[in-house]
Structure 1
Amino acid sequence: MTSLLTPPSRTTAPTAAGRPLARPLWLSAAFAGAVAAGSVLLACMAVGLAGWFAADAGGHGDTRDAIRIGADAWLVAHGSGLTLAGATISVVPLGLTALCGYVALRLGGWARATSADEDGAAVALAAVVLAGVYGVVAVVTAVLATLPTAQPGLVQSFAGAFLLALVGGGAGLVRGEAGVLAGRLPETAVAVLRGAAGIAVAVLAAGAVLVTVALVLDIGTGANVLSRLHADGPGSALYTLVVAAFAPNAALMGGAYLLGPGFAVGTGTVVSPSVVALGPLPAFPLLAALPSPGPGAAWAPALIGVPVLAALLAGALTVRRHPTRDWGSGALRGLGAGVLGGVLVAVLVHLAGGAAGPGRMADVGAPFPDILTAAVVTLGGGSLLGGVLMTWRLRRTTDVVPGDEQDPATEDTIRL
């Protein structure tokens, strides 16, 4: 009787949030790659279509041209470049790139959360599948958007899209295990990675503040630029989206200015704390933040101290978060974070530049060797000093520092 009342047991797949997980991870990753690429692509096409109607109510061209412009913008955000009547556009709108990466990250996390729990090899395969599907969408889009007068690079489209999806989607796939992965690394390595990321964010934030202050102080020039564009309400909204797409580029150029070498806005130009030499500029609102041509202001070179202070604070916080009383470890954590952060900043500044049009506008951005040298020296030195100062402070305390390499009793005898 009891056996008749007891239901037979059934084998079920692992569950998440009470739902059975029968779908393999690679299949979810493939779907996530397609959705990550398609969702932002369709949004860009919609913006292009709306801008076409807002510009002249559809009086020129047709809907295919407007949709193609949106597709080209999405491709350029992945580093495809665009050849227009002999001119090359290679400047990447990093704001749109960051949006694409964020969508890939979230969908990578969704794929992992809604699929069967698998091992590390399966997760790596899923990341490659997600990036591969994303890259295929980019190549198909590039082929369909190619015209004799507008040609995105096919190889660059796939390579840029694959890399972005691999980094963003892969981070989403392993985001839930970030703590476990960090626990497998040496303490110094984790400190250096976190410190480098913090330093890069600090320089980006400082550059953004500099650009914002410059725009506010010269808001009249920006208003004149908008008036010359004859933009109405919808047109102004479209320009706002374009400015937002290139806002990270402007912030990174501000960071290059603070580091000393500065940047160029056209061949033969330079914008730096010591000198500003400009030529004719296109009508773009963000360019209103550029200083007036001529020798730099007497106080401008003092701005080079801003990245040093930011790196010093970041180095101190790095050692405070990963404490040690050993001079060598503290110096290594501070210096490593500063040097790696400097390399990261230099790479980001390099990505923010490129060709922005024909003629002299083919040279926009900062010279990579100069920025790399300045960033490594400035940020590395500041972070090293911050790490040493925090180590000195920790050596003066009587508390036991977690993860300290030396015996606490020995430390008390050498405490300053």
Structure 2
Amino acid sequence: MVALLARLSLPGQREPGARRRPHPALLAAAAAAAVSVLSLLGLGLAVVVVQALDPSGGLPVAGSTRLAGQLWLLAQGGGITLPSGPVVLPPLLLTLALAWGLSSAGRGVVRVCDLTGGRPAGGVVAAVAGTHTALALLLGLAVDRPGAAVDLLRVAVGCLLLAGLASGWGVLRESGLLGALPGPVRPLGRAVLAGLLAALALGLGMVAVALASDAGGYATLSDSLGGSAAGAVGLLALCALLLPNAAVAAIGLAAGPGFAVGSGTLVSVHGVTLGAVPALPLLAALPDTQAVPLLAFASQAVPALAGLVAGATLGRRLGDTEGGSVVAALWGVLAGALLGLTCGVLAWLAGGSLGDGALAQVGAPPVTTGLAVAAQAGIAAALGAAVARWRSLG
């Protein structure tokens, strides 16, 4: 009996050699700080290298670092007020990279600490979002200048939303809480995601075709900006960061409302109005004449194709007890509506302004784009879900 009692552990007593698990909130804060600092250092190093290789001198190290910090803040919904007006246009590729890093941070903390409940998972999300937002505000204060004032309110809201949503998604996936969702909610989410990825892939294809058809215009724009090979690399990197923005604009064109590059340039299936645009090589994809290009007419199939992908995904993933083809078609209508809502949100995120006056509006209109995609994708998704469900049930 004495030997048995000796082997029993007292409250708060750990076994010899047992490793103490780190506190989830502290570990989450450290992970968020690591993602924020490493992403900022990587972006800053890239800008510094490009500027250092410019034989004409380029920006000094301090100026390059400040520029990298401003890009980092813009990617998260921040705004920079220049003498020409407010600049609010997030490079979405950088936004996606930051979201992936923050999501991985949340997943890593859950895996290391073996968290399962909703309350500790919420603590991890709060720690990641709070730490990331605090570091972003400190950076905003550091790069704020009289000629380039940082909108700290936009920085706080944007960083809090990005970090909260990204880390929350990672925590939900790793903790298994997604498995507790009722009914066809999980298949519905997968269907919307599949339709969105299909729409973005088709939008990128449209941009690639438009650039390939006017490769001479791209080269002319690049040459007109002058500079060395390092400057060309910098411009190419900037265009790459803005590629998702261009893909979302292409979705707006495919849906019908089109997109604008300032008040003087509007491209839609109903007509083309050309005006002065910034000397960015990516804008060589714009039409050269007032005539609506053939690509714009062909692109009108994009919302329907995205809806078919969403519907087929939904029909294949519904459970055996979740109804037949008619029920799947109704869920398909909802999937198409959610896909339209997501595209509208993306259009809002991908657009913005490049100053006052002529460039105060850039991108596709969010509300009309979302409604147009929802109407077209909803019908296609209902048909795709019904057919896929009928085939899966045999």
- Common fold by TM > 0.5: yes
Cα distance between partner residues in 2 of 1:314 and 1:369: 21
- The one-character-per-residue Cα deviations of 1:263-287 (angstroms, maximum 9, x if unpaired) are 0011143111231111012211111
Deviation at 1:337, TM superposition (A): 1.0
Deviation at 1:360, TM superposition (A): 0.7
1:251 paired with 2:247, answer yes
1:69 paired with 2:67, answer yes
1:344 paired with 2:303, answer no
1:206 paired with 2:191, answer no
- The one-character-per-residue Cα deviations of 1:124-158 (angstroms, maximum 9, x if unpaired) are 01110111010000000000111100011111111
> Of the candidates 171, 183, 198, which is equivalent to residue 187 of structure 1?
183
1:305 paired with 2:301, answer yes
Deviation at 1:255, TM superposition (A): 1.1
Structure 1 residues 45, 302: closer, same or farther in 2, change over 3 A? closer
Q: What letter corresponds to residue 237 of structure 2 in structure 1? A: L
Q: Residue 178 of structure 2 aligns to a residue in which SS?
A: helix
Question: 1:36 maps to which residue?
Answer: 35
Cα distance between partner residues in 2 of 1:274 and 1:374: 14
Deviation at 1:32, TM superposition (A): 0.9
- The one-character-per-residue Cα deviations of 1:143-180 (angstroms, maximum 9, x if unpaired) are 01111000111111111111111112222233223xx4
Question: 1:378 maps to which residue?
Answer: 376
Structure 1 residues 302, 234: closer, same or farther in 2, change over 3 A? closer
Residue correspondence of structure 1 range 207-286 to structure 2 within 5 A: 207-286=203-282
Cα distance between partner residues in 2 of 1:394 and 1:196: 19
**Is the Cα–Cα contact under 8 Å of residues 303 and 377 in structure 2 kept in the other structure?**
yes
Unaligned runs of 5+ in 1: 398-416
- The one-character-per-residue Cα deviations of 1:310-338 (angstroms, maximum 9, x if unpaired) are 31233023102215552442122211111
Q: Which moved more, 1:63-72 or 1:233-242?
A: 233-242
Question: 1:79 maps to which residue?
Answer: 77
Aligned-residue Cα RMSD (Å) equals: 2.4
TM-score between the two structures when normalised by the length of structure 1: 0.86
> Of the candidates 120, 128, 151, which is equivalent to residue 149 of structure 2?
151
> Of the candidates 67, 88, 91, which is equivalent to residue 90 of structure 1?
88
Q: Which moved more, 1:215-224 or 1:365-374?
A: 365-374
Deviation at 1:186, TM superposition (A): 2.5
Question: 1:287 maps to which residue?
Answer: 283
Cα distance between partner residues in 2 of 1:231 and 1:205: 32
Deviation at 1:294, TM superposition (A): 1.6
- The one-character-per-residue Cα deviations of 1:49-103 (angstroms, maximum 9, x if unpaired) are 223323356x466322221111111011111111011411101100111111111
TM-score between the two structures when normalised by the length of structure 2: 0.91
Question: 1:139 maps to which residue?
Answer: 137
Cα distance between partner residues in 2 of 1:217 and 1:363: 26
Deviation at 1:47, TM superposition (A): 2.2
- The one-character-per-residue Cα deviations of 1:102-140 (angstroms, maximum 9, x if unpaired) are 111122222222336463211101110111010000000
**Is the Cα–Cα contact under 8 Å of residues 23 and 116 in structure 1 kept in the other structure?**
no
Question: 2:24 maps to which residue?
Answer: 25
Q: Residue 348 of structure 1 aligns to a residue in which SS?
A: helix
Cα distance between partner residues in 1 of 2:295 and 2:280: 27
Q: Residue 283 of structure 1 aligns to a residue in which SS?
A: coil
1:315 paired with 2:311, answer yes
Cα distance between partner residues in 1 of 2:318 and 2:213: 41
Structure 1 residues 84, 332: closer, same or farther in 2, change over 3 A? same
1:115 paired with 2:119, answer no
Cα distance between partner residues in 2 of 1:132 and 1:386: 42
**Is the Cα–Cα contact under 8 Å of residues 142 and 152 in structure 1 kept in the other structure?**
yes
Cα distance between partner residues in 2 of 1:310 and 1:48: 37
Cα distance between partner residues in 1 of 2:298 and 2:60: 53
1:172 paired with 2:170, answer yes
Structure 1 residues 30, 19: closer, same or farther in 2, change over 3 A? farther
Q: What letter corresponds to residue 102 of structure 1 in structure 2? A: W
- The one-character-per-residue Cα deviations of 1:358-382 (angstroms, maximum 9, x if unpaired) are 4311111112221122011011111
Question: 1:403 maps to which residue?
Answer: none
Deviation at 1:302, TM superposition (A): 4.1
Structure 1 residues 170, 350: closer, same or farther in 2, change over 3 A? same
